[in-house]
Chains A and B, each alone.
Chain A
């Protein structure tokens, strides 16, 4: 009764595609419950990729990737089983697994509670859930800075709008 073949096999999702060699395409059937439905590409947990990944679609990685990842207008999700050692450039980056490398999320970087990221983050918005592990630098750029950077100009820093209050104004106890 405990034999593996008795376990129900997961059903394939029609929209799933595997970013992997053709023979391993069936691996995409092992979908994760956290997988976003909109993910166009899927690197499943048994797949290892070394090299450069580029594209324009969303990508879900639950396997191992080493190299660089550039999604010009796509979102990247590193699933709970994902292990990525790469510099990443994508529109939005969501980390549920382990990532080592520079993360450049043009719109947003999110590290979820199971996520573990090491490296520098450059983005417009950052979201870190309680339980997440992060070691590195967080550099949040304003919209105009991001545009300037994209246009190839120098990134100029804006003055912070909010300041720290003077303790003299709030007299201590």
Chain B
């Protein structure tokens, strides 16, 4: 990336720094550009994406699950290649779930349902209404950097659920930050080798930085995994079931 581009991205990131009064969807999911040109685009060459798509070659009528917000470009990209596209903004749903839980907590008298409010129970409750698909539904999952932001109790449960939902030979593309990200991004596919990072109002701060060993353990039930490390501190992980 040239110096000018770097400066532009830095400026754009600053412009898109989340603010309390940001324009948000009622569900709390900031999706796309609602407020105009403040959302700048950063296109990233992705070896992980290239490899991900290479694994999908030959699948004429596959099913893909995008765990970010819906984007026309991503939908069109896969639909044109014969895929059925499912979208479920899991982070947005988690945010909304926590909001409802907080409201519920306020109504519960002290001492009541104390066990039910543990992080583990909360994670179970969330998953009882999320990622509800039949086993072996998907050929591919775009998880983006979701796992960096989810609650610690939720991460292994989500990976376990995805393991069930993805077909044998199916593939997951996930992104892990190597250091605390200074901005919250959403992602969309641009073409066969690029995806776009869109600075967005933060739903959560990053919860952790995964070590390589932790990532391997999370996806231990997968047949193989590959990691691509970029100069921008993003690690792209490809996990094949």
Which residues from chain A sit less than 8 Å from chain B, CB to CB? 111, 113, 116, 126-140, 157-168, 170, 172-173
Contact = CB atoms under 8 A, between A and B. Distances in A.
B61 A130 contact: no
Given A113-B32, A131-B33, A157-B60, A140 B71 contact: no
B87 A135 contact: yes
A79 to B, nearest CB: 16
B12 interface: no
B86 A136 contact: yes
Q: Using C-beta atoms within 8 Å of the partner chain, give the interface range for chain B.
A: 35 or more
Contacts of B29: 133
B87 A134 contact: yes
A100 to B, nearest CB: 13
A113 B27 CA distance: 14
A137 B62 CA distance: 12
A136 B31 contact: no
A116 B25 CA distance: 9
Contacts of A135: 87-89, 93
Contact of A173 (B45, B54, B81): B45
A126 B50 contact: no
B19 interface: no
26 contacts: A116-B26, A126-B75, A126-B79, A130-B31, A130-B33, A130-B72, A131-B32, A133-B27, A133-B92, A134-B87, A135-B89, A138-B84, A139-B84, A158-B60, A159-B61, A160-B60, A160-B82, A160-B83, A162-B80, A163-B57, A163-B81, A164-B53, A165-B50, A165-B54, A165-B192, A172-B47
B27 A128 contact: no
Nearest to A170: B193
Contacts of B60: 157-160
A138 B75 contact: yes
Contact of A128 (B54, B71, B93): B71
Nearest to A157: B61
Contacts of B27: 116, 133
Contact of A136 (B53, B56, B82, B87): B87
Interface in B56-80: 56-58, 60-61, 69-72, 75, 79-80
